[in-house]
Amino acid sequence: DTGVSQDPRHKITKRGQNVTFRCDPISEHNRLYWYRQTLGQGPEFLTYFQNEAQLEKSRLLSDRFSAERPKGSFSTLEIQRTEQGDSAMYLCASRLASGDKETQYFGPGTRLLVL
Amino acid sequence: AQKITQTQPGMFVQEKEAVTLDCTYDTSDPSYGLFWYKQPSSGEMIFLIYQGSYDQQNATEGRYSLNFQKARKSANLVISASQLGDSAMYFCAMREMPSGSRLTFGEGTQLTVNP
């Protein structure tokens, strides 16, 4: 039983560069979530998908951010023209749409540092 | 207004003793779910326990139990027989129906278990 995986685990980039993160959910999970966590804070919701449809986006998700889940399996989160304020842990989670407890299971996260 | 409040930035406990981590929440939705997650220094969010708003009994999962007091809007986590490996950040989170299925997290409590 494999859990949620994320790649890369760490990313260092220069301001202005584009970065892309990947998330592979638990195989039978049809809902996939992205959260952002800054130092000393709890995770904050960014967006979520049910299958390939993006159903909700937070106001935190500026125009520089885009997320996709083209085949309803893995998802990518792209940040264009990165800024130092984008430095954070990006967490992906998945769950079944109608599963018991509706529990979201998280991946190990991608730590982004923008220099 | 904060939806999830964790008033203890840090807690210390002796190994083998029990500890309670506080969580209060704010919602007008009659249907909601409450979760506790553990986040070690590695960064992964580990699901611990879930309590549904309509559940009649307090949830228990091994050494974890949730002291759910609906009228007070509190959902405290009790860890019995603390172990050194319990040292981590602990987050309380809530899922509300009007918000879809996003989780709203508190700011967390850093638990340190002393030998």
10-residue averages of pLDDT along chain A (115 residues) = 90 98 93 94 94 90 93 94 96 82 89 97
CB atoms A103 and B43 under 8 Å: no
Contacts of B42 in chain A (CB under 8 A): 108
Interacting residues of B61 by C-beta distance below 8 A, sequence separation 6+: B48, B49
- Kindly report, residue by residue over A1-31, the tens digit of the pLDDT: 579 999 999 999 999 999 999 999 998 888 9
- State residue A1's pLDDT score: 56
Asked if pLDDT for residue B37 goes beyond 60, the answer is yes
Return the residue in A6, A56, A104, A112 with the most chain B beta carbons within 10 A, the one to mutate for interface testing.
A104
The yes-or-no verdict on residue B104 having pLDDT over 60 is yes
Question: Which residues from chain A sit within 8 angstroms of residue B47, using beta carbons?
Answer: 103-106
Asked if B91 lies within 8 A of A42 by C-beta distance, the reply is: yes
Q: What is the pLDDT of residue A60?
A: 84
Q: Please indicate if any CB of chain B lies within 8 Å of the CB of A89.
A: yes
The pLDDT of residue B21: 98
Residue B84 DSSP one-character state: G
* Average pLDDT score, chain B: 93
The strand ranges marked E within A1-115 are 5-7, 10-13, 19-24, 31-37, 44-50, 53-57, 65-68, 75-79, 88-95, 105-106, 110-114
**B106:A42 CB<8 A:** yes
Beta bridge partners of B75: B68
The residue type at B75? A
- For residue B66, the surrounding DSSP H or E stretch is strand B64-69
- The answer to which of B7-11, B27-31, B62-66 has the lowest mean pLDDT is B27-31
